[in-house]
Amino acid sequence: SQKIEQNSEALNIQEGKTATLTCNYTNYSPAYLQWYRQDPGRGPVFLLLIRENEKEKRKERLKVTFDTTLKQSLFHITASQPADSATYLCALDNNAGNMLTFGGGTRLMVKP
């Protein structure tokens, strides 16, 4: 069956360190993989999209990698700040290409 796995345990890191979040998937062949940020009681906000033929994408302190052989995406936040504390969701298009499926998200806590 199709599955998207993100670490359900919260990731706690110290301010200034690099946070790395993982998104693993099985039985998908996505053309796109997307990352979103969600704050409590709010809707998700789109951060980055990476295509299957791209290995890496950067936006300011954010970096996403996409390894279609390992079926994994890594999401990095460098020089993390307490304001980066949130839940981060990965999403990928299903094999029919007509919808996104979201992972369960990983909560990131950055301590000052």
Partner 1 sequence: DGGITQSPKYLFRKEGQNVTLSCEQNLNHDAMYWYRQDPGQGLRLIYYSQIVNDFQKGDIAEGYSVSREKKESFPLTVTSAQKNPTAFYLCASSYRVREPQHFGDGTRLSIL
102 belongs to the binding site for partner 1 (CB under 8 A): yes
Q: How far is CA 85 from the centre of its chain?
A: 14
Within 48-67, which residues bind partner 1 (CB under 8 A)?
49
Using an 8 Å Cβ cutoff, are 112 and 12 in contact? no
Applying CB under 8 A, the span of 11-19, 54-62, 74-82, 92-100 interacting with partner 1 comes to 92-100
Using an 8 Å Cβ cutoff, are 90 and 1 in contact? no
Site string for partner 1, 10-49 (x = CB under 8 A): ---------------------xx-x------xxxxxx--x
Pairing, β 106-111 against β 11-14 = parallel
82 belongs to the binding site for partner 1 (CB under 8 A): no
CA separation for the pair 72, 109 (Å, rounded): 22
98 belongs to the binding site for partner 1 (CB under 8 A): yes
9 belongs to the binding site for partner 1 (CB under 8 A): no
Interaction site with partner 1 (CB under 8 A): 4, 6, 8, 31-32, 34, 41-46, 49, 89, 93, 97-105
